[in-house]
Amino acid sequence: MKAALLLAAASLPAAAETPAKPMFRDPVWDGAADASVVHDRARGAWRMFYTARRATLSGEQDRGVAWVHGTAIGTAVSRDGRHWSYAGTAAIPAACTGATLWAPEVGWYEGRWHMWLTVVPGVFADWNAPRFIVHLTSPDLQRWTCGERLDLDSDRVIDAGVARVGPGRYRLWWNDERAGKAIRQADGTDLKRWGPARTVLAEPGEGPKGFRWRNRWWLVSDAWKGLRVARSDDGLAWRVQPGFLLPDAGSARTDRAKGQHPDVVLANGRAFLVYFVHQGGEPEAARDPRWARRSVLQIAELVERDGLLTVRRDPAAVLPPP
């Protein structure tokens, strides 16, 4: 197994030579997804956390959707906003998590780093397992300390998104699978307790990312047919934008499938969309049926005009230097 992993890693582009597309691919399992990108001011770098799906899993362990379970949180770093280097897996304490870690949400609040992390307590061949969200903190994005398990009145919640909405006030978005995979939100003041919860998007979706930009609140989520966009003046009443972002394949190599599970990075007044793309549209998939399980991370710039978001997908996009 180890030899096979090393061979797969050797076939991937070196991190230092990574072009704009893809933005990044995991050199171990080739299944990078669900990114969260933050500016590490202390080290003058961009840092990324992501779900490291085991896309190249094979043998007896490869049953059903086991490859999407047993996942660690991968990390990468960029000193210039263009080239990303793999930095291993995050040191997540086993004491408060589990065998499967998904969809990190990382942010700097109240003088320290916070992570909200989806946990599945085991490795499963199907989707029928509980999931919950835990909160962790760190002084440096390296050492993580267990916090609390979020009480969100459901045993199947995933994909936290968090934003500051005012002095000492924060908002949490998540996917409640028991509510038909609706997107829900709740407010809090201490980054630990949230409520009351309310549904803001009843249509099924996941990976909600809320942010304020250009005098509006925006909520971008994965609708599995592209990215759904909603906007709001107050962050409470949401209006869904017609259509979807990235519903079809792009034209660039490694970007030839719909965009999924967004993150949005605000920098110098601009907004950058980070998304993952399955590799079923690539030539390798014609020879290897499992190639479609592989996924890479891409980046594109968002454009707002007359209250609508569009995305510049095909031009090369890079983050400003940190």
DSSP string, 214-262: TTEEEEEEE-SSSEEEEEESSSSS-EEPSS-BS-S--SSTT--S--EEE
Hey, which residues does 264 pair with through a beta bridge?
Answer: 273
Q: To the nearest whole number, what is the mean pLDDT of the chain?
A: 94
Q: Taking residues 272-288, what's their average pLDDT?
A: 97
Phi-psi region of 178 (alpha: psi -120 to 50; beta: other; left: phi over 0): alpha
Q: Does 246 have pLDDT greater than 60?
A: yes
What is the distance between the alpha carbons of residues 159 and 161, in angstroms, rounded to a whole number?
Answer: 7
Cβ 150 vs Cβ 188: under 8 Å = no
Q: Taking residues 181-197, what's their average pLDDT?
A: 97
Quickly state the pLDDT bin for 315 (edges 50, 70, 90): confident
The confidence score (pLDDT) of residue 7 equals 39
What is the distance between the alpha carbons of residues 36 and 161, in angstroms, rounded to a whole number?
Answer: 10
What is the distance between the alpha carbons of residues 207 and 51, in angstroms, rounded to a whole number?
Answer: 12
Return the structure tokens found at 167: 């002095």
What is the distance between the alpha carbons of residues 210 and 231, in angstroms, rounded to a whole number?
Answer: 9
Each residue's pLDDT tens digit, 55-112 = 999 999 999 999 999 999 999 999 999 999 999 999 999 999 999 999 999 999 999 9
The confidence score (pLDDT) of residue 114 equals 98
Quickly state the pLDDT bin for 316 (edges 50, 70, 90): confident
If you compute the radius of gyration of the chain from its CA atoms, what whole number of angstroms results? 18
What is the distance between the alpha carbons of residues 2 and 269, in angstroms, rounded to a whole number?
Answer: 44
What CATH number labels 2-312? 2.115.10.20
What is the distance between the alpha carbons of residues 221 and 219, in angstroms, rounded to a whole number?
Answer: 7
Q: Report the half-sphere exposure of 145 (CA within 13 A, side-chain side).
A: 6
Model's pTM, two decimal places? Answer: 0.93
Pairing verdict, β 85-89 and 72-78: antiparallel
The confidence score (pLDDT) of residue 16 equals 40
Edge-first strand listing for the sheet containing 132-138: 100-109, 112-120, 132-138, 145-149
Domain range list for the chain: 2-312
